[in-house]
């Protein structure tokens, strides 16, 4: 995001700056459910709104990102790189030749020039339509799905890396993305089962290396946009499903969404709120075709609006109740 394109993530989610993680998560889920592309087919405004709230949630739900955002505003992304590199650059003494990381700083006129070169970017299409993308010149900071950076290993040779944002549907089923590198446009095949942390190697598609006199390999690091229902817990998927008090007491059979559609799951009688049930083989896919598990966290939802007849029956249950869940607390003392 450019510093001139500042977005108020708190306003986007409709929360105060003092909002806790749970409130931010609740607001995001409500908005994501409303604007999700699957519920608004063909509505570009809803798609744009969904991306905007996903971007806001990605920052505000991450402690480190939120801290940088609160502190530096529209400059928070640039500051992440600045904090890492500033100690290696003598801002007041431009005669400094080499930093502690081996960088020759004498080639830069000032600290800003060094940061501008460090923060080079790719641009990226938002769809698979083949929209052109280009290497940006040093100093540009475009809001993009592909963010370029180089990492120098012990050998001194740099690997070009970029991040690519995918929806859960694209990552689960696999997709093809168009990526423009300068004057060259290539089709990138994302295999089914990509997940956060997956890396895709594009041989000799990176920047030209002055060390080898050849183009480097380009590595795409997969990132997934937040989903209003599914999340990752290790290799498995996890979700939260509400049930009613009577379903918790008596047990029930309920429908659970999975990446490939709803399935029926048996809820045992006497289940507690927070207990996790496992649906084997209903989680994330893998490039080998296997499936991980879906972990369903049960939440007993207390009804907020009940009829007079329901209230009457709850009162009867209260009067007939034989179990006291707080009985063991009577012996508690300091």
209-227: pLDDT as tens digits = 766 678 888 888 899 999 9
Which CATH number does the domain housing residue 65 bear? 1.10.287.110
Q: Are residues 202 and 144 in the same domain?
A: yes
Is 129 buried (19+), middle (13-18) or exposed (0-12) by CB count in 10 A?
A: exposed
Output the pLDDT for position 98: 46
Q: Are 64 and 139 within one domain?
A: no
What's the pLDDT at 58?
86
* Whole-angstrom distance, CA of residue 269 vs CA of residue 41: 39
Query: Does position 14 have pLDDT exceeding 50, yes or no?
Result: yes
Check residue 247 and give its pLDDT.
97
Mean pLDDT of 192-210: 83
Residue 190 resides in a domain: yes
The label of the residue with tokens 């908005």 reads 31
Last residue of a domain, one of 226, 241, 265: 226
Does some domain include residue 334?
A: no
**pLDDT digit string, tens, across residues 271-326:** 999 999 999 999 998 777 789 999 999 999 999 999 999 999 999 999 999 999 89
pLDDT at 84 over 60: no
Residue 244 clears pLDDT 80, i.e. is over it: yes
Residue 95, in any domain of the structure: no
Q: What CA–CA distances, in Å, run from 254 to 251, 262, 266, 297?
A: 10, 10, 7, 13
Encode burial over 4-28: b for 16+ CB neighbours within 10 A, e otherwise: eeeeebbebbebeeebeeeebbebb
Kindly state whether residues 173 and 241 are assigned to the same domain: no
109 domain-assigned? no
Flag whether pLDDT at 169 surpasses 90: yes
Which of the listed residues 203, 226, 249 is the one where a domain comes to its end? 226
Determine the pLDDT at residue 187. 87
Cα of 18 vs its chain's centroid, Å: 21
What is the average per-residue pLDDT within 258-274?
A: 95
Percentages (nearest 5) of helix, strand, coil residues in the chain: 30, 25, 45
Same domain, 164 and 72: no
CATH value at residue 294: 2.60.260.20
Percent of the chain clearing pLDDT 90 (strictly above)? 35
Are residue 125 and residue 215 in the same domain, yes or no? yes
Residue 114: inside a domain:
no
Phi, psi torsion values for 329, nearest 5 degrees: -75, -15
- Boundary of a domain, candidates 163, 196, 226: 226
* pTM beyond 0.85, yes or no: no
Establish if 149 belongs to a structural domain: yes
Total domains in the chain come to 3
Query: Domain of 303?
Result: 231-319
pLDDT for res 282? 96
């Amino acid at each position: 995001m450019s510093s001139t394109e500042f977005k108020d993530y708190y306003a986007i989610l409709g929360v105060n700056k003092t909002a806790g993680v749970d409130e931010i998560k609740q607001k995001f889920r409500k908005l994501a459910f409303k604007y999700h592309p699957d519920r608004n087919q063909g509505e570009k405004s809803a798609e744009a709104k969904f991306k905007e709230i996903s971007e806001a949630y990605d920052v505000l739900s991450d402690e480190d990102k939120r801290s940088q955002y609160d502190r530096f505003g529209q400059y928070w992304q640039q500051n992440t790189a600045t904090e890492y590199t500033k100690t290696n650059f003598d801002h007041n003494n431009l005669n400094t030749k080499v930093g502690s990381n081996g960088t020759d700083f004498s080639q830069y006129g000032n600290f800003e020039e060094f940061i501008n070169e460090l923060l080079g970017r790719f641009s990226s299409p938002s769809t698979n339509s083949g929209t052109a993308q280009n290497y940006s010149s040093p100093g540009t900071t475009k809001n993009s799905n592909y963010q370029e950076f180089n990492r120098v290993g012990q050998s001194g040779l740099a690997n070009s890396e970029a991040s690519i944002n995918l929806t859960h549907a694209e990552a689960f089923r696999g997709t093809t993305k168009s990526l423009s590198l300068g004057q060259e446009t290539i089709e990138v095949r994302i295999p089914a089962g990509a997940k956060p942390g997956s890396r895709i190697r594009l041989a000799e598609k990176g920047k030209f290396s002055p060390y080898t006199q050849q183009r480097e390999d380009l590595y795409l690091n997969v990132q997934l946009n937040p989903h209003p229902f599914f999340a990752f817990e290790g290799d498995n998927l996890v979700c939260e499903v509400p049930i009613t008090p009577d379903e918790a007491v008596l047990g029930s059979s309920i429908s659970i969404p999975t990446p490939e559609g709803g399935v029926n799951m048996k809820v045992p009688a006497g289940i507690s709120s927070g207990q996790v049930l496992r649906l084997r083989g209903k989680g994330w896919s893998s490039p080998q075709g296997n499936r991980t598990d879906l972990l369903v966290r049960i939440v007993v939802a207390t009804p907020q609006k009940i009829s007079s007849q329901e209230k009457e029956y709850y009162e009867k249950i209260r009067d007939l109740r034989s179990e006291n869940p707080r009985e063991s607390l009577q012996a508690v003392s300091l």
